[in-house]
Amino acid sequence: MRLIETQSRLFFHRGAFIVNVFWDKGLNMNQGLPIVSIVIPCLEEKEFIGKCLDSIIANDYPRECLEVLVVDGMSSDGTRTMVEGYVQQYPFVRLLDNPRLITPVALNIGIRNAKGSVVIRMDAHAEYPLSFISSAVACLQKTDTDVVGGPVITRPRGDSLMARSIALVTSHPFGVGNSKFRTSRKEGYVDTVPFGAYRRDIFEKVGYFDERLVRNQDNELSSRIIRSGGRIYFTPKLTAHYYNQGTLKGLLKQAFKTGKWNVVTLKVNPYAFRLRHFVPLFFVCILLFLIGLSFLSRFALYSLTGLLLIYFFTAIGVSIHGASRNGLRFAMVLPFVFPAYHFSYGLGSLTGLFTTNVRRLDVNLEKCKVEKVEPVLKGR
């Protein structure tokens, strides 16, 4: 009985979506829906890839207009076996190899093998609602924009107090700043989106993902799109659920790498980031400066003390507010997770300032004969 109800629901959603698109756009049924290619970079994702693919397969978009490209970095944890099972069961699912392992290479492999006029970049660590794909297509047609995406709701990677605390920290404005896709639900044009749905021809216009960037390749590509006169639209209709780190060690490692690659990306493309991405770097630099100067100046010591007091009282206040909504036990953990996350992020950026050599990245690209792109400098 449950299977019949589920199939009926899917039939209703698919039918309603097709009617809405044709009705809104004045299209006739012979023109059909665009083929959508979903590209999923994947490496050692046995824990999550099944949930991800199940959520995509359950979507209300017609399967005859859909292809799913899982680009795997030669996983050895059983991920490939799981994906191969889906390939055998669903003809629209394909498994591609990514011998270079890193995300931007996987994305470019997927895009070059994609058949669709719409390409959606998805993450194996996420799950997507029933109407995600159809809403993305409808939004692209309605807004006449180049990329559409939506907010991310961070889910805990497990039931532990630390995992749930990490989910709170990485979805709170005090933790991640004014990152719209993490903290906002307001529709409008933005500078970047996660899990974006791209018009295929935008890659021919501005180039593919920059394979020098192990991280932040989405931000860098978004910058080129905007600089070329393109537009990126944000809508809560494309909300995805993302599983973040489950341990403090994993979070700090992630924050350090992200902070470091922010600087690398900035050196590759100076238009790729906003000021908010470097607030932790400024904070850490000021602290280190005041710590060094405090041995020589009492004023510096007082300034350092005042800055730390302001920061920690703010962290405690935010933590108490979060604990009041999620449980008092969080008040014992959040005041430590917030500063640990910020300091690790800032130290990563500081490390990137002194260790990054863009020329070396270019040399590595030449050896591997892979994709290098230059920032688009044309204004809007």
Asked if 175 and 144 count as a contact pair (C-beta separation under 8 A), the reply is no
Predicted local distance difference test score (pLDDT) of residue 197: 96
Using DSSP, state whether 121 is helix, strand or coil: strand
Predicted local distance difference test score (pLDDT) of residue 209: 94
| Residue that is written with structure tokens 């489950």 in the block | 246
Give the side-chain half-sphere CA count within 13 A for 33. 25
Q: Mean pLDDT for each consecutive 10-residue tract of the chain (380 residues)?
A: 40 44 35 89 93 95 95 92 94 94 94 95 94 94 91 88 93 81 78 92 93 89 92 93 92 93 85 80 94 92 94 93 88 93 94 74 45 40
Predicted local distance difference test score (pLDDT) of residue 38: 97
Domains, the chain, in order of start with CATH, read 2-246 (3.90.550.10), 275-368 (no CATH)
Nearest to 198 by CA among 304, 119, 255: 119
Task: Round to whole Å and give the CA distance between 50 and 326.
Answer: 29
Predicted local distance difference test score (pLDDT) of residue 86: 95
Backbone angles phi, psi at 331, to 5 degrees: -65, -20
**Residue 126, token pair as written in the block:** 């996420």
Please state the separation of Cα 163 from the chain's center in Å. 19
Task: Round to whole Å and give the CA distance between 284 and 119.
Answer: 39
Q: In a 10 Å sphere around its CB, with 0-12 CB exposed, 13-18 middle and 19+ buried, how is residue 240 labelled?
A: buried
**Residue 340, token pair as written in the block:** 């640990």
Predicted local distance difference test score (pLDDT) of residue 11: 44
Task: Round to whole Å and give the CA distance between 244 and 264.
Answer: 23
Tell me which H or E stretch contains 188.
Answer: strand 188-189
CA distances from 57 to 3, 15, 115, 252, 276 (A): 15, 16, 18, 34, 36
**Residue 112, token pair as written in the block:** 């070059």
Give the side-chain half-sphere CA count within 13 A for 120. 27
Task: Round to whole Å and give the CA distance between 133 and 57.
Answer: 10
Asked if 85 and 164 count as a contact pair (C-beta separation under 8 A), the reply is no
Nearest to 289 by CA among 336, 350, 238: 350
Q: Where are the alpha helices (DSSP H) in the chain?
A: 2-25, 49-57, 79-89, 103-113, 132-143, 161-169, 173-176, 180-183, 201-206, 217-227, 248-268, 279-293, 298-326, 334-355, 358-368
Asked if 371 and 211 count as a contact pair (C-beta separation under 8 A), the reply is yes
What is 81-107 written as a DSSP string? HHHHHHHHH-TTEEEEE-TT-SHHHHH
